[in-house]
A and B are shown apart, each in its own frame.
Chain A
Amino acid sequence: MSDLSHIRNFSIIAHIDHGKSTLADRFIQHCGGLSAREMNAQVLDSMDIERERGITIKAQSVTLNYTARDGQIYQLNFIDTPGHVDFSYEVSRSLSACEGALLVVDAGQGVEAQSVANCYTAIEQGLEVLPILNKMDLPQADPDKVRKEIEEIIGIDATEACLVSAKSGMGIEDALEYLVENIPPPEGDREAPLQALIIDSWFDNYLGVVSLVRVKQGVLRKRDKIMPKSTRKVHQVDGVGIFTPKRLETGILQAGEVGFVVAGIKEIQGAPVGDTLVNAQHPDVAALPGFKKIKPQVYAGIFTISSDDYEDFRDALAKLTLNDASLFYEPETSDALGFGFRCGFLGMLHMEIIQERLEREYDLDLITTAPTVIYEVVKKNGDIVQVDNPSRLPEVGDIQEMREPIARCNILVPQDYLGNVITLCVEKRGTQKDMLFLGTQVSVVYDIPMAEVVLDFFDRLKSVSRGYASLDYSFDRFETASLSRLDVMINGERVDALAIIVHHDHVQHRGRVLTEKMKELIPRQMFDVAIQAAVGGKIVARQTVKALRKNVTAKCYGGDASRKKKLLEKQKAGKKRMKQVGNVEIPQSAFLAVLKVDG
């Protein structure tokens, strides 16, 4: 138990690969949160997918007891933040539980756009931002240059910036001291009635809903009767405590502290993220400002391969949305794929991660259709509709005007790669808004259609700049554009799940590349398979998967029979993973072919 003056709540803002997780591990190690044996590399990235991809998706927290040089013991609550451009929304959530943030910058690479955006969020939320230069053990480390960059680009004083190497352990204690001295302690009246913000919630099969909370005022004790403001349902607290990072029951959380609460909430919408917990005896305590609902940027249909899995799929989505408020879903029916859900994501990475989690954690076999952004359609009768599914686009004759979402893209790039980045932005139909030379880096601002940004822009940007350019983007506005729906027809039958919306200038090219890609992915069958791309009634591209001429096992005598049968059974099992459209068998991968269509 600590009095408020001995608590420090902080996050780490860092670009991917700049060493946030390693630094966090060092802090845990220094404060004795885990024994060396338990220090499974990067303990905070707790989802398998996070560890494999080396990124953090979900907010996690850890409470550490740090004995400072002044001999006092401080309670450090570290709330982790995601580092990928798709997840900036999650960052503001984590920051709302903190009084300060460490800005970790690779001392060799310098500042990246994502960190700039997150720093601004932190500063807006009134947090103290402390710069830390990491990877000082590397020969290319250039602290003076990076200090200057931090001051020029972000505009915070970096003269005091800590120099550390999370890898070698250098400067770790200095960083902790720096943090204790400079991050203000939390405020909050412990005598007042309970008011706690739910930063994150997730579903545990044994405990029900587990919530990560920041207590703003009052005290939260085991066996207290509490209620979330949104549901106003009263629950008894079964467990309360902190992560060390292991879950440790302490029986109490006080104002200023961060920890978990379990209250036997079984229904997964029972403790939504951003909600406020109050004591049932003081139900009128005001709700804290929650988090602004974030609008998904990318939509795609997801369908189970086997219709038997539909119920499981629905339950899995419900569980995932509990702690991923940015995941949106609603039922969708496709002629080609049957019953499924139209899902909305923050970006492509988010989509891939959700699909992977559904397949891995819930053991589902899924088909995902081509992702699309949301379009605004002005109909001739004056109605304005938003379309998140190309197959639901109103009839061409009813459309007065189509508008596409435009993203404001802030890009930071070393001067050497500026030319490449501009070429890419132009290719993606971008309009330059601003350009600023800051030391060796250039800050360029482009308005680019969201559809181009979410597809593969980030990957392309990285590849044209050898990984040095960084990006932050956000929705800016809808803008009138010349757009069409590109339909795909298989043997004359329109396949709704394959339709995409494209800019007029790209119709020919996309149609051609898409049909070529589909040709590679659809296996040869007993008859020719015609793949056509069409706009309105007009065919813009066509490919044919030539029929097999024969498919027969040459030799089969007594002893061979079992082996030949096994081979055929294997082929049959492969076919079961395909979708039948008319007479044609289409593999899962073909539905995502459009993703492979470059520019």
Chain B
Amino acid sequence: MGELPLPPLALYVHLPWCERKCPYCDFNSHESRNLPETAYIDSLLADLEADLPFVQGRVIQTLFIGGGTPSLFSAAGIGRLMQGIGQRVALADALEATLEANPGSAEAEKFAGFRAAGINRLSLGIQSFQNEQLAALGRVHDSDQAHAAVAAARRAGFQRINLDLMHGLPAQGASAAMADLATASGYQTGHLSWYQLTIEQNTVFYKQPPILPVEDVLADIQDAGEIQLAAAGLEQYEVSAWAAAGEQCRHNLNYWQFGDYLGIGAGAHGKVSFSDGRIMRYAKRRQPDAYLAAAGDWRVQSQWLTDAEKPGEYMLNALRLNSGFALADYAARTGLPPSTLQPALDTLTARGLLLQEGTRVRASALGRRFLDSVITEFLA
């Protein structure tokens, strides 16, 4: 096998604290009053240095600070973090730098500072514009704060704003879900992440399940929402992501296109390719205390993907995109010949789940609805 071109590289930064843990959230987040902000930023930068061999001469194209609730950090802290990152890795001129923010009033006051620190895209965890839904989700903000946060983000100079919305909430009917969508798209922020509430293991909701809408209502909400968002001029480009022209989240696109990313911070995951075709996944120490005390020993799991795993891993990401993937990209990103995929592709095409158009492959409308079943066919 010859040398493979390395995929684009992104950087993910995890800030693991929240004011309060939401009952549906299974991300690595921890409740805390007193954030060890300074010490944590020091660790993040040292952690990044330890990952530098994985950069392999590449420029960071996108950066995403997620959580937890990154907006709990001070603007000065985010500034020092951004500066520190810039001193250690090369950042693209057109760097996309996203920060996740909670729409609370305390956070909104910091938005201008985040902007000044070099953050150019804000992702607001709105979830719903209706108070009873927000209460049911255990969110700390209310509807007024949600509206105020969008305005504050605009005032702070953010051109690119994502609104995170959830649907299929306890006792939510199709009309309430559509009202939320209408409110959100009315802000014309250019990007919406709209995803169905799912009950994950290791959450409060898993142990004490809320009463969720029945499957038919959920499917009706999905169908109606897709129509409404298209009418609002937003294009669905992924299972749960909608954007105006040119406003897609480049950081997330990189995941779904099976690009590379470094992950720094407690519980952060990374994926790195090498020109000989090997692909490594790794994770950092998950507990914030352990991470802070790790001193040089942040990376705890690293694992090489086997050739048998690669097709499933690729499809798990690439088929989420409405545009699918090009067979040449599959070969470049996995180092495997597309010919081995062909029997599965043909079977799924015959079942009406995939579309093969020239050298591109994508899920059909039916395939998008049963994407898990489609992806399962590629798993080892």
Which A residues contact B (CB, under 8 angstroms)?
526, 548-559, 561-562, 564-565, 568-569, 571-572, 575
Known A-B contacts A551-B371, A555-B198; the reply to A572 vs B379 at CB < 8 A is yes
Contact A559 B375 (CB under 8 A): no
Of all chain B residues, the one with the shortest Cβ separation from A568 is: B376
Known A-B contacts A526-B373, A551-B370, A559-B267; the reply to A568 vs B255 at CB < 8 A is no
- Which one, A550, A554, A555, A557, contacts B369 given CB within 8 A? A550
**A564 CB contacts on chain B under 8 angstroms:** 316
A87 CA to B197 CA in the complex, in Å?
Answer: 55
**A575 CB contacts on chain B under 8 angstroms:** 376
**B252 CB contacts on chain A under 8 angstroms:** 557
Minimum CB–CB distance from B195 to chain A (whole Å) comes to: 4
A557 CA to B219 CA in the complex, in Å?
Answer: 23
- Which one, B215, B283, B317, B379, contacts A568 given CB within 8 A? B379
Known A-B contacts A552-B370, A552-B371, A552-B372; the reply to A558 vs B269 at CB < 8 A is yes
Contact B373 A551 (CB under 8 A): yes
Interface mask (B123-157 → A, CB under 8 Å = 1, otherwise 0): 00000000000000000000000000000000000
Contact A551 B372 (CB under 8 A): yes
B357 within 8 A of A: no
Interface residues contributed by chain B, number (CB under 8 Å): 40
Contact B196 A559 (CB under 8 A): no
Contact A555 B376 (CB under 8 A): no
A564 CA to B317 CA in the complex, in Å?
Answer: 10
B12 within 8 A of A: yes
Minimum CB–CB distance from A582 to chain B (whole Å) comes to: 13
Minimum CB–CB distance from B105 to chain A (whole Å) comes to: 27
Contact A558 B261 (CB under 8 A): yes
Minimum CB–CB distance from B374 to chain A (whole Å) comes to: 9
- What are the 9 closest A-B residue pairs judged by CB atoms, nearest first? A549-B219, A559-B269, A554-B195, A552-B371, A550-B369, A554-B196, A558-B255, A551-B372, A551-B370
Contact B372 A559 (CB under 8 A): no
**A565 CB contacts on chain B under 8 angstroms:** 312-313, 316, 379
A-B contacts, 26 listed (Cβ < 8 Å): A526-B366, A526-B370, A548-B370, A549-B218, A549-B219, A549-B369, A551-B370, A552-B239, A552-B369, A552-B370, A552-B371, A552-B372, A553-B239, A553-B372, A554-B195, A554-B198, A557-B252, A558-B255, A558-B271, A559-B268, A561-B255, A564-B316, A565-B312, A565-B379, A568-B316, A569-B379
**A562 CB contacts on chain B under 8 angstroms:** 269, 281
Of all chain A residues, the one with the shortest Cβ separation from B12 is: A558
Which B residues contact A (CB, under 8 angstroms)?
12, 14, 195-198, 215-216, 218-219, 222, 239-240, 252, 255, 261, 263, 267-271, 281, 283, 312-313, 316-317, 320, 366, 368-373, 375-376, 379-380
Contact A561 B379 (CB under 8 A): no
Contact B317 A556 (CB under 8 A): yes
Of all chain B residues, the one with the shortest Cβ separation from A556 is: B320
A526 CA to B376 CA in the complex, in Å?
Answer: 14
Of all chain A residues, the one with the shortest Cβ separation from B352 is: A526
**A552 CB contacts on chain B under 8 angstroms:** 239, 368-372
A561 CA to B312 CA in the complex, in Å?
Answer: 10
Of all chain B residues, the one with the shortest Cβ separation from A525 is: B373
A526 CA to B363 CA in the complex, in Å?
Answer: 15
A548 CA to B371 CA in the complex, in Å?
Answer: 12
- Which one, A553, A571, A572, contacts B371 given CB within 8 A? A553
Minimum CB–CB distance from A589 to chain B (whole Å) comes to: 21
**A550 CB contacts on chain B under 8 angstroms:** 218-219, 222, 369-370
Q: Given A553-B239, A558-B255, A558-B263, output 12 extra A-B contacts at Cβ < 8 Å.
A: A548-B370, A549-B218, A550-B218, A552-B369, A554-B195, A554-B198, A554-B239, A556-B239, A568-B375, A569-B379, A572-B376, A572-B379
**B312 CB contacts on chain A under 8 angstroms:** 565, 568
**A569 CB contacts on chain B under 8 angstroms:** 379-380
Contact A561 B369 (CB under 8 A): no
Contact B195 A559 (CB under 8 A): no
Of all chain A residues, the one with the shortest Cβ separation from B363 is: A552
Which has the most chain B C-beta neighbours within 10 Å: A549, A557, A561, A571?
Answer: A557
Contact B371 A555 (CB under 8 A): no
Minimum CB–CB distance from B258 to chain A (whole Å) comes to: 10
Of all chain A residues, the one with the shortest Cβ separation from B223 is: A549
**A526 CB contacts on chain B under 8 angstroms:** 366, 370, 373
A21 CA to B9 CA in the complex, in Å?
Answer: 72
A197 CA to B283 CA in the complex, in Å?
Answer: 69
A550 CA to B379 CA in the complex, in Å?
Answer: 19
**A556 CB contacts on chain B under 8 angstroms:** 239, 316-317, 320
A569 CA to B316 CA in the complex, in Å?
Answer: 11
Of all chain B residues, the one with the shortest Cβ separation from A566 is: B379
Minimum CB–CB distance from A558 to chain B (whole Å) comes to: 5
A555 CA to B164 CA in the complex, in Å?
Answer: 12
**A554 CB contacts on chain B under 8 angstroms:** 195-198, 239-240
**A553 CB contacts on chain B under 8 angstroms:** 198, 239, 371-372
Contact B255 A557 (CB under 8 A): yes
Contact A561 B317 (CB under 8 A): yes
A568 CA to B373 CA in the complex, in Å?
Answer: 9
Minimum CB–CB distance from B266 to chain A (whole Å) comes to: 11
**A557 CB contacts on chain B under 8 angstroms:** 252, 255
**B379 CB contacts on chain A under 8 angstroms:** 565, 568-569, 572
**B320 CB contacts on chain A under 8 angstroms:** 556
A342 CA to B366 CA in the complex, in Å?
Answer: 42
A552 CA to B367 CA in the complex, in Å?
Answer: 9
Minimum CB–CB distance from A378 to chain B (whole Å) comes to: 48
A554 CA to B240 CA in the complex, in Å?
Answer: 6
A549 CA to B221 CA in the complex, in Å?
Answer: 12
**A558 CB contacts on chain B under 8 angstroms:** 12, 255, 261, 263, 269-271
A329 CA to B267 CA in the complex, in Å?
Answer: 57
Of all chain A residues, the one with the shortest Cβ separation from B366 is: A526
A552 CA to B376 CA in the complex, in Å?
Answer: 11
Minimum CB–CB distance from A553 to chain B (whole Å) comes to: 6
A564 CA to B371 CA in the complex, in Å?
Answer: 12
